[in-house]
Chains A and B, each alone.
Chain A
Amino acid sequence: MNLDLKQLPHAKQLFKQLNSGTHLNRDHDHQLFSALEKHSEQYSELFKTLGFELVINTRGYAYFKTEKTSNTDTHKLTKKLALFMLLLFEYQADAGVDLSRFDQWRIDNELMTILWQKHHSLLETEDINNMDELKSVLKSAERVGFVINENNNYRLLAAVYRYLDLFEELELQRAYKKQANNTEQA
Chain B
Amino acid sequence: MANPRSIIRALDKHWEVIEYLILTLSEQSTWESKTLLVLMKRFDTKELPDERLQQLVNAEILVKLPRSDDYELNSIVRDFVSQLLNEHQLGLSSDIKNRIDEINIALEALHLAMYNNDTAMLIRGIKSIEKLLSEITKQLQHDTHAIADIVERAKTADNQMPLARRYQEVLDTYERYIVPMTELMDTGASGKFYPLLEQTETVLNALSEQLATQGALIDHQRGLRVLNARVKELQRIGRETLTNSSATITPLRDEYRRHNNLSTAVARLLGEVRKRGLKYTFADSDLPLWRKEQPRRITVDDSLKDFIAQVRDYQPKTVVFPDLIDDGETVQQEWLDEAAIEQSLLNSLPITDLMHWLIENYGQYQDASLIKLYHRLIRLPTVLAVHQNELTRHELKHHAIQLYSHSLTAHEPRP
Q: Give the interface of A toward B (CB within 8 A).
A: 18-23, 52, 63-64, 66-69, 71, 73-75, 78-79, 82-83, 86-87, 89-90, 93, 95-101, 104, 122, 125-126, 144, 162-164, 166-168, 170-171, 174
Contact = CB atoms under 8 A, between A and B. Distances in A.
Most buried by A among B164, B268, B269, B288: B288
A82 B287 CA distance: 8
A19 B270 contact: no
Interface in B261-309: 261-270, 273-274, 277-279, 282, 284-293
Interface string B230-263: 0000000000000000000000000100110111
A82 to B, nearest CB: 6
B293 A19 contact: yes
B228 to A, nearest CB: 44
Q: Which 7 A-B pairs have the closest CB atoms?
A: A96-B162, A171-B265, A93-B263, A21-B290, A71-B292, A162-B288, A167-B265
Contact of B292 (A18, A73, A101): A73
B160 interface: yes
Given A87-B270, A90-B263, A168-B261, 19 more contacts: A64-B290, A67-B289, A74-B290, A78-B287, A78-B288, A83-B273, A86-B269, A86-B270, A89-B262, A98-B255, A100-B255, A100-B262, A101-B159, A104-B159, A166-B282, A166-B287, A168-B265, A170-B286, A171-B268
Nearest to B277: A125
Contact of B287 (A52, A79, A95, A126): A79
Contacts of B258: 99-100, 168
Interface in B130-168: 159-166
B152 to A, nearest CB: 16
Nearest to B167: A98
A164 to B, nearest CB: 6
A98 B259 contact: yes
Given A83-B273, A98-B159, A163-B288, A168 B262 contact: yes
Given A86-B273, A87-B270, A166 B161 contact: no
Contact of A96 (B164, B279, B290): B164
A79 B287 CA distance: 7
Nearest to B265: A171
B288 to A, nearest CB: 4
Contacts of B270: 86-87, 90
Contacts of B262: 89, 93, 99-100, 164, 167-168
A104 B83 CA distance: 36
B290 A170 contact: no
Nearest to B165: A96
Given A78-B287, A166-B288, A171 B261 contact: yes
B289 A69 contact: yes
Contacts of A174: 268
Interface residues of A, dominant DSSP: helix
Nearest to B292: A71
Contact of A75 (B269, B277, B284): B284
Interface of B: 159-166, 255, 258-259, 261-270, 273-274, 277-279, 282, 284-293
B291 A20 contact: yes
Contacts of B274: 122
Contacts of B287: 75, 78-79, 82, 166
Given A19-B293, A122-B273, A97 B159 contact: yes
Contacts of A18: 291
Contacts of A66: 289-291
Contacts of A89: 262-263, 266
A75 B166 CA distance: 39
B259 A21 contact: no
15 contacts: A20-B293, A21-B291, A21-B292, A75-B289, A78-B287, A79-B282, A83-B273, A86-B269, A99-B263, A104-B159, A126-B278, A167-B265, A170-B282, A171-B261, A171-B269
A120 to B, nearest CB: 13
B256 to A, nearest CB: 8
A171 B288 contact: no
Nearest to B157: A98
Given A96-B164, A171-B265, A63 B290 contact: yes
Given A96-B161, A97-B160, A23 B290 contact: yes
Contact of A78 (B162, B259, B261, B289): B289
B163 A98 contact: yes
Nearest to B166: A98
Contacts of B255: 98, 100
A67 B291 CA distance: 9
Contact of B267 (A83, A93, A125, A163): A93
Nearest to A70: B292
B2 to A, nearest CB: 47
Nearest to A93: B263
Contacts of B273: 83, 86, 122
A89 B261 CA distance: 12
Most B CB contacts (10 A, CB to CB) among A64, A69, A86, A125 go to A86
A166 B289 CA distance: 12
Nearest to A121: B274
Nearest to A160: B288
Contacts of A164: 262
Given A75-B284, A101-B159, A126-B278, A69 B266 contact: no
Contact of B259 (A22, A75, A99): A99
Most chain B CB within a 10 A radius of its CB, from A18, A21, A64 = A21
